């Protein structure tokens, strides 16, 4: 019997940044099988979210709920 290792399980998730990221002070996002990971491109710190948490957050972003002007008002 041959031992097989799944390469996908060993590889790092693919992080993407916004096309608006020009100063390299951005966040990168990856979506492995078990949720969403957000990473600072400056410090490397990561925060993990469930799929449900991410969907609700993105809906709020699209609705303008996290614009800096509103958060700092």
pLDDT tens digits for 22-47?
888 999 999 999 999 999 999 999 99
pLDDT for residue 70:
94
Instruction: Give pLDDT, residue 24.
Output: 85
Domain ranges within the chain, ordered by starting residue: 8-71
Q: What is the mean pLDDT of the chain?
A: 89
What is residue 56's predicted lDDT score, i.e. its pLDDT?
A: 98
Nearest to 15 by CA among 36, 30, 34, 35: 30
Can you give the pLDDT at residue 10? 57
Distances (CA, A) of 55 to 13, 44, 51, 52, 62: 19, 23, 6, 5, 11
pTM of the entire predicted model: 0.76
CA dihedral 41, 33, 9, 2 (to 10 degrees): -170
Res 67: pLDDT: 96
The three-class DSSP label of residue 13 is coil
């Amino acid at each position: 019997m041959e031992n097989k290792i799944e390469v996908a399980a060993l590889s790092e998730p693919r992080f993407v940044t916004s096309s608006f990221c020009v100063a390299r002070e951005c966040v990168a996002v990856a979506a492995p099988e078990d949720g969403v990971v957000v990473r600072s491109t400056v410090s490397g710190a990561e925060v993990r979210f469930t799929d449900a948490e991410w969907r609700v957050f993105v809906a709020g972003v699209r609705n303008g709920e996290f614009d800096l002007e509103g958060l700092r008002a």
